[in-house]
Structure 1
Amino acid sequence: MGLNVSDLTIARGGIKVLEGVSFTLRAGSAIVLRGPNGIGKTTLLRTVAGLQPPVDGRIEADPESLVYSGHADGIKATLTVAENLTFWAQVFGQADITNAIKAFQLERLASRPAGALSAGQKRRLGLARLLVTGRPIWVLDEPTVSLDVEAVGMFATAVRAHLATGGSALIATHIDLGLPEAELLDAGRFRARAAALDEFDEAFL
């Protein structure tokens, strides 16, 4: 199961930021999205994940195959680590959280309330949610924020394991994750042309 994006145009605040975006993400493969801050990487990922509509173009993928992880960790502070993962597993119709706990070395933290975790530990918990969704296509926006070198290694290992089982990943990151087989996609190639004055005015009408 894959993801195909064709001639996609996306906007932020009514202003086009990227246009003509086309790529194919196949099962077992990864695409690393690069580009300067503010160019539209987050907007592209949110659009691909179905969180906002595109201006134009096509996104072909089963919506039930996608899972998105953004800047928020998506955890409930009053629940323990294990309870958070159990909650998300149930949301996605899954049950087993063992692999997620192990992959991000959360065993010793399993009974600790999420609100008592450090920033890095919260990020590890947030990323561990990916493993309990059962969904094959991961759409990830700067997933290594707040992670130390060891935790980045955990994440990279989790991604490689996901790809090895036929999953795929679209990842916006400036960090080298040690995925030599990953395709690099430069968002700068798709920067939208500057709006003409009348187009700029229309965006605020």
Structure 2
Amino acid sequence: MELVVNNLSCARGGVPVLERVGFRLTAGQALMLRGPNGIGKTTLLRTLAGLQPALEGQISSPPESIAYAAHADGLKATLSVAENLLFWARIFDTNDITPALEGFDLVDLAGRQAQNLSAGQKRRLGLARLLVTGRPIWMLDEPTVSLDTASVALFGRAVAAHLKTGGAAVIATHIDLGFSAQSLDLTPFRAAPQKLNDFDEAFL
């Protein structure tokens, strides 16, 4: 399992934000994306996950290898915790949700509807979906939002276990998750400001 990114440029709203990004990630490795707010961490993750096209460059990874977790938890409000996990498990052709329930401390909440969970519990459930995808490469955008200290540690252990079994992860976060990881500062890859022509300036 390997993710190779070469000379990648990506845009937000049609405006280039990052240029010539490159890195290699192999089994058991995690990469932390660093940089100030607005630099393009989310845009890069969405491009890597195939949710938007790259402006140029190459992304090489095994087919159907990437699972993406963004700010939205992606839950069905009227389904229970277990039913939500079963829904996603069936989409990814897996069946056992026990590791997901145990890994994110959701066993006692299995029968509760998602709409009756706290923000932190919803976040844990949203992240627990990663464990039913069966996909080796996790793309995670600020995964610890709404999590308390104990839940952040829980999440860190889940990622560490994923890496130990040969998985990989690319994570946009500003905090230490308690495991060894590479770091990629996106500041040097910030796209140069676009030059405006007379036509563009007429609409500013």
Shift of 1:62: 2.2
Instruction: Report the residue type matching 2:185 in the other structure.
Output: D
> Which residue does the alignment assign to 1:75?
75
* Amino acid across the alignment from 2:184: L
Report the CA distance between 1:199 and its aligned residue.
Answer: 10
Alpha-carbon distance in 2 for matches of 1:199, 1:138 = 44
- Structure 2 CA distance, aligned partners of 1:56 and 1:199? 27
CA distance in 2: counterparts of 1:140 and 1:129, whole angstroms? 12
1:63 Cα deviation (Å)? Answer: 3.6
Tell me, which stretches of 5 or more residues in structure 1 are unaligned? none
- Over aligned residue pairs, what C-alpha RMSD do you find? 1.5
Aligned-partner Cα distance in 2 for 1:55–1:88: 31
Partner of 2:193: 194
State the distance in 1 between where 2:125 and 2:78 align.
14
Displacement after TM superposition at 1:201 (Å): 3.3
Separation of aligned partners in 2, 1:25 and 1:115? 37
Runs of 4+ residues over 4 Å off in structure 1: none
Are positions 1:175 and 2:175 aligned together?
yes
- For the pair 1:55 / 2:72, whether they are aligned, the reply is no
Q: Aligned runs of 1:89-128 on 2, under 5 Å?
A: 89-128=89-128
* DSSP-derived class of the 1:64 partner: coil
- Matched positions, count: 202
Report the Cα distance in structure 2 between the residues aligned to 1:74 and 1:144, rounded to whole angstroms. 15
Deviation digits for residues 51-85 of structure 1 (CA, Å, limit 9, x no counterpart): 00000000001240000000100110000000000
CA distance in 2 between partners of 1:121 and 1:80 (Å): 12
What is the alpha-carbon distance in structure 1 between the residues aligned to residue 18 and residue 68 of structure 2? 20
- Tell me what 1:87 maps to: 87
TM-score between both structures, scaled by the size of structure 1: 0.96
Q: TM-score with structure 2 length normalisation?
A: 0.96
Deviations 1:113-161 (A, max 9, x none): 0000000000000000000100000000000000000000010000000
Distance in 2 between the 1:98 and 1:174 partners?
30
Aligned amino acid, residue 21 of structure 1: V
Instruction: Measure the CA separation in 2 of the matches of 1:135 and 1:62.
Output: 10
Instruction: Determine what percentage of the aligned residue pairs are the same residue.
Output: 65
Q: CA deviation at 1:200?
A: 9.2
- Name the SS for the 2:175 alignment partner: coil
For residues 148-181 of structure 1, what are the alpha-carbon distances to aligned partners after superposition, in whole Å with 9 as ceiling and x for unaligned?
00000010000000000000000000011012x2
SS of residue matched to 1:21: strand
Q: 1:131-170 to 2 correspondence within 5 Å?
A: 131-170=131-170
Q: Which stretch has the larger CA shift, 107-116 or 192-201?
A: 192-201
SS of the residue 2:161 aligns to:
helix
- Closer/same/farther in 2, CA of residues 81 and 200 from structure 1, 3 Å limit: farther
CA distance in 2 between counterparts of 1:201 and 1:57 reads: 27
Partner of 1:185: 184
